[in-house]
Amino acid sequence: MSTLIVRTRRSFATHWYAWAMVLPVVVVLAVLVGYPLGRGVYLSFTDANEANLGRTIGDFEVPSTYTFVGLDNYWHILSGQEGSFYPRLMWTVVWTASCVFLHYTIGLGLALLLNRRIRGRSLYRVLLILPWAVPAFVAAFAWKLMYNTDNGVFNLLLSKIGLGPVDWLGDPFVQKLSVIAVNTWLGVPFMMVAILGGLQSIPRELHEAAEMDGASPWQRFWNVTMPGLRPVSSTIVLLGTIWTFNMFPIIFLVIGQAGGTESEILVTYAYRLAFQGVRDYAGSASYGIVILSLLLVFSVFYRGMLKRQEEAK
């Protein structure tokens, strides 16, 4: 312990300017991330809700009456007593896997096209990045209007070719396809830009050498391009998984209350617990910690798997 203190003091004395630059960021993260996270962990071990949390009304202060319940909230969720955790978890996993797969494959295809020398390449890049520049809530409302059963552009196009209107946001299965389409539209530009940067970092000499050795285009893609993209791909797939798993605005804003609970992912259900109905703050906090734990386990497993693959080579 004394050695750690001595090293810390020596670091402060030697690199005081760097510590001074980092300190504001550390303070902001502690306030905006650390305190809410700690408060959420604490509430997850209680039975806190709107009725017993306590509040101040004018000059009168209502004391908190919630109690410590230990792991009861987690047992209630993970044991299946609630009856909705595992179905929502399954849909959340399907939602995340589908979106990330489409993000990566479409982004890879577009990046390969834009990496070629074609006329108007800069214009195409700007146009394809536009969905990423649009705020998520604006895109959600725009797509919701297009999905409108009576006046939406999709049903108008279907009526032109003699097909009946589709209840895009009413039928549970179609709802899920609809929100996957919206999130794919939003997420592809990020993948495209990241992969395009990775493609441009692969030495051209490798492709030329493979071509001279008689490798077909598919062989060059699979044995030169994909290995060269592995560092970029591993990072963006991990980031995409975390972002999509917690993609609150698309599910909440596009579907809203029209879909009941069948199309909810874990994070939207946690929000509903906290801010609708009885306002079960403890249950919502428990859901949040479970979501965080799932993502941490996935991240550790994913990084470990990639490390083992690298060591095997």
Cα separation, 184 vs 243, whole angstroms: 12
Cβ contact 99:180 at 8 Å: yes
Tokens of 4: 């750690």
Residue 231 lies in a domain: yes
The structural domain count of the chain equals: 1
Q: Is residue 67 part of a domain?
A: no
> What band does 264 get if pLDDT is binned at 50, 70 and 90?
confident
In a domain, 22, yes or no: no
Quote the CA–CA distance of 78 and 94 in Å, as a whole number: 19
State the pLDDT at residue 313: 62
- Would you say residue 307 lies in a domain? yes
Residue 109: other Cβ atoms inside 10 A: 13
Q: Does residue 251 lie within any of the structural domains?
A: yes
Residue numbers of the domain that contains 222: 74-312
pLDDT at 297 over 90: yes
Does the pLDDT of residue 32 top 90, yes or no?
no
pLDDT, tens digit, 9 for 90 and up, residues 213-248: 888 888 888 888 888 888 899 999 999 999 999 998
What CATH code is carried by the domain that includes residue 85?
Answer: 1.10.3720.10
Q: Is residue 108 part of a domain?
A: yes
* % of the chain exceeding 90 in pLDDT: 31
What is the spatial distance between Cα 87 and Cα 79, in angstroms, rounded to a whole number?
13
Percentage of residues in the chain having pLDDT higher than 70: 96
Question: What was the pLDDT predicted at 295?
Answer: 93
Q: Is the pLDDT of residue 258 over 90?
A: no
* pLDDT the model gives residue 180: 94
Grade residue 162 by pLDDT with cuts at 50, 70 and 90: confident
Q: Is 196 contained in some domain? A: yes
| Domain assignment present for 41 | no
| Pairing state between β 60-62 and 55-57 | antiparallel
Q: Is the pLDDT of residue 179 over 70?
A: yes
